């Protein structure tokens, strides 16, 4: 399962969703609550191997991660 993260500038957070490629499903989450996928799915987003959450002020740090 892959994790895609993207910046949510409106709420000043980094939001993440899990991509279950085996079942073709996308499960969107932000701090454990389900969210509209359109707010999360960003082709320029970052892929992580586990759930990660950042505040937008930490985006520069998170965007430098290479996993």
Nearest to 42 by CA among 4, 13, 12: 4
**Residue 4 pLDDT grade (very low, low, confident, very high; cuts 50, 70, 90):** low
**CB burial of residue 19 (10 Å; 0-12, 13-18, 19+):** middle
pLDDT tens sequence across 10-66: 555 555 555 555 554 555 444 444 343 334 444 444 443 333 443 334 444 444 333
**Residue 5 pLDDT grade (very low, low, confident, very high; cuts 50, 70, 90):** low
For residue 38, what pLDDT is reported? Answer: 38
For residue 64, what pLDDT is reported? Answer: 37
Nearest to 51 by CA among 22, 23, 16: 16
Residue with structure tokens 């939001």?
15
């Amino acid at each position: 399962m892959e994790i895609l993260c993207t910046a949510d500038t409106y709420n000043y957070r980094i939001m993440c969703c899990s991509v279950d490629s085996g079942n073709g499903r996308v499960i969107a989450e932000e701090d454990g609550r389900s969210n509209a996928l359109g707010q999360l799915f960003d082709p320029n987003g970052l892929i992580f191997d586990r759930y990660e959450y950042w505040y937008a002020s930490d985006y520069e740090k998170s965007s430098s991660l290479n996993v």
